[in-house]
Amino acid sequence: MNELITINQATKKFGAIVAVDDFSVKIPKGVIVGLLGPNGSGKTTLIKILNGLLTCDSGEALINGMPPSPETKAIISYLPDRNYFDDWMTVNDILSLFETFYEDFNRAKAEAMLEDLRIDPKQRFKHLSKGTKEKVQLVMVMSRNAQLYLLDEPIGGVDPATRDYIINTIIKNYNPDATVLISTHLISDVENVLDEVIFIQEGRMVLQSPVDEIREKKGLSVDALFREVFKC
Amino acid sequence: MKWRIDSNSPIYRQLMEYIVIHIVSGRYVPGERLPSVRDLAEIAAVNPNTMQKALTELEKEGLVYSQRTTGRFVTQDKELIQKKKKNIALHEIDTFLTKMESMGFSRNEIRQLIREAQEETSSE
């Protein structure tokens, strides 16, 4: 099959804590997938495994059939759940950094997005608000022409208008050969742009289903189903 | 028109309804070329694959047709559009009647109420 991501029985422990537990999934090319789960359910760990920042204790993760490696990193555009730019850098410095590091980076596209979001590229990163920092990171990540976008909580820290802009950017950026994996717990905001969702709880796969299949079979939105499944 | 997706039914079906309303109301005229899937997905703020599915379903119903190289168009079959329009109206009326009857109104009372409501709007 035309799978972009294959995870086979991956397990990752941190001491006594099992962050990812015997997790298996297949994700094809050309889809936008929501990785949904409550806080601490293993979303970030899973994304870091795909990205090669963590290795599984057992099982395997493959991207385009390859284990995480410099080769797979070149085709993955990753938005981490925290800021990783140095404070003294200006936005322009970051643009140049991305241009140097990633062959697939489209600087003109990034500059246009920064302008849309009214972010001055001459600003130093440390002078930006928390939300604006997140916007800059997202602009960088979405301006690469990657095959796999791993977005860890891309809308958590920004205002609703910016959320709309980000969601619009994801739609605009849609490419039948690329896959977008979005981890979030803000489901109602992203539900309409997702092809399918994966529910994760305590490191285990609870459900993988197309969004419209959930709506068709259960008469529930993904958001409503999530609230039901993860009821406290 | 802002596309509002509600939470209960499949998204592609709601998209079909929106496009159909655009067609029967004449916002998209017979033979008109539709915006691309990508543009429509952006307008509706939905997944492009879901929009694609909605359009494929409308194609099956004959309301739109695609031409390999030039895109997708609204049907030229005005009769089909009128039929669809009437079906939507009947469906809306049915929903309305069911609701009114569940409140205990008879058909005669409902007719009377509609007349009164029309007189009120025309006298305004």
Higher pLDDT, B96 or A81: B96
CB contact under 8 A, B45 and A164: yes
CB contact under 8 A, A193 and B47: yes
Together in a domain, B40 and B89: no
CB contact under 8 A, A195 and B10: no
Together in a domain, B86 and B71: no
Query: Using one digit for the tens of pLDDT, what is the confidence trace for A44-71?
Result: 999 999 999 999 999 999 999 999 999 9
Together in a domain, B89 and B113: yes
Q: Is residue A87 part of a domain?
A: no
Strand locations in chain A (E): 3-14, 17-28, 32-36, 58-63, 76-79, 148-152, 179-184, 196-201, 204-210
Number of domains in chain A: 1
- pLDDT above 70 (res B124): no
Number of domains in chain B: 2
Together in a domain, B72 and B85: no
Together in a domain, B83 and B72: no
- Residue A195 C-alpha, separation from nearest chain B C-alpha, in angstroms: 7
Task: From chain A, pick out residues whose CB is under 8 angstroms from the CB of B10.
Answer: 212, 215-216
Together in a domain, B28 and B72: yes
Q: Is residue B58 part of a domain?
A: yes
CATH number of the domain where residue A224 is located: 3.40.50.300
Q: Is residue B68 part of a domain?
A: yes
CB contact under 8 A, B46 and A193: yes
Together in a domain, B67 and B119: no
Q: Is residue A229 part of a domain?
A: yes
Q: Could you tell me the CA-to-CA distances from A28 to A42, A93, A177, A216, B22 in Å, in that order?
A: 21, 35, 9, 22, 33
- Residue B43 C-alpha, separation from nearest chain A C-alpha, in angstroms: 9
Token pair for residue B121?
């709007």
Task: From chain A, pick out residues whose CB is under 8 angstroms from the CB of B9.
Answer: 215-216, 219
Together in a domain, B84 and B53: no
A34/A211 Cα distance (integer angstroms): 10
CB contact under 8 A, A195 and B38: no
Q: Is residue B116 part of a domain?
A: yes
- Residue A190 C-alpha, separation from nearest chain B C-alpha, in angstroms: 9
pLDDT band for position A120 (cuts 50, 70, 90): very high
Query: Using one digit for the tens of pLDDT, what is the confidence trace for A12-50?
Result: 999 999 999 999 999 999 999 999 999 899 999 999 999
Together in a domain, B19 and B41: yes
- Residue A32 C-alpha, separation from nearest chain B C-alpha, in angstroms: 8
Q: Is residue B4 part of a domain?
A: no
Give the closest of B12, B38, B41 to A212, CB-based: B12
Together in a domain, B109 and B59: no
Give the structural domain span for B54.
Answer: 11-76
Strand-pair partners of A62: A6
Query: Using one digit for the tens of pLDDT, what is the confidence trace for A66-87?
Result: 999 999 999 999 999 888 788 8
Q: Which of A161, A86, A159 is nearest to A124 (CA)?
A: A86
- pLDDT above 60 (res B121): yes
Q: Is residue A96 part of a domain?
A: no
Give the structural domain span for A220.
Answer: 1-75+186-232
Q: Is residue B6 part of a domain?
A: no
Q: Is residue A69 part of a domain?
A: yes
Higher pLDDT, A231 or A194: A194
CB contact under 8 A, A216 and B10: yes
A158/A160 Cα distance (integer angstroms): 7
CB contact under 8 A, B10 and A32: no
CB contact under 8 A, A171 and B49: no
CA A117, A188, A119: angle at the middle one, nearest 5? 10
Q: Which of B2, B7, B16, B17 to mutate to test the interface with A (most CBs of A within 10 A)?
A: B7
Res A130: pLDDT: 86
Q: Is residue B113 part of a domain?
A: yes
- Model ipTM value: 0.88
Res B1: pLDDT: 61
